[in-house]
Every structure is written in structure tokens, then in C-alpha cells.
Amino acid sequence: MSDTSKDKNSATLGAFYARVEDGQLVMEPYCSCGNQLDEYYHCDKCNKHSRCTDILCEDQATLNLVEKYIRTSPRLRNFNAMLGKRKATED
């Protein structure tokens, strides 16, 4: 790995973790290291900014809802939805 790819300020691929809570879709951004991102998609743990284009859905019902939003919203057309669990953080 080159020094450039190790740059602490480079963008990484994070993901949203999606679930349905009280009938509402909740999506939280997480860094590839597993840490929850702030409102600017910055990770306090590894000091990187993330581009969250993947949406990991808690269950099939959530995946179905997210896929519907992706199909109908131009703002979400570049997102990918899949079943998945968020990475556990190591504290």
C-alpha cells in the first residue's frame, strides 16, 4: 500500500446501516472501521471522511423499503442496498 493510500485525510467507503423503527426508516452512517460517522461523514476514530453509497439493511423488509426509495428517488440512484450487519467497533 502506498503512502498516498494511507493518508489520514483520504476518503474511505463507509456505509449506512438501515432499520425500520416505529414504522420509520432510520439510516445511520458508519465508517469502514466500524465507527459511527458524524453529520459530515467524518470518523473521529480514524480521522477519515467516508463516501457512504452502500446501505446495509437489517432485514428483508428494510431492504424492500430501501430498494423502493432507490428506484423512486433521483437522489438515491447511485446507492446500493443489500442485507448486512454493521461492523462492530473495537473500543
Our CA dihedral for 12, 79, 86, 66, rounded to 10 degrees, sits at 160
Instruction: Look up the pTM and report it.
Output: 0.78
Domain that holds residue 27: 11-82
Compute the distance between CA of residue 37 and CA of residue 57 in angstroms, rounded to an integer.
Answer: 17
What are the Cα distances from residue 29, in Å, to 1, 3, 4, 38, 53? 26, 26, 25, 8, 10
Classify residue 18: in a domain, yes or no: yes
* pLDDT tens track for 20-37: 999 999 999 999 898 999
Classify residue 87: in a domain, yes or no: no
Classify residue 22: in a domain, yes or no: yes
If one counts the domains in the chain, the total is: 1
Classify residue 3: in a domain, yes or no: no
Classify residue 76: in a domain, yes or no: yes
Classify residue 19: in a domain, yes or no: yes
Classify residue 6: in a domain, yes or no: no
Classify residue 91: in a domain, yes or no: no
* pLDDT tens track for 49-60: 988 999 999 999
11 phi/psi in degrees, rounded to 5: -80, 140
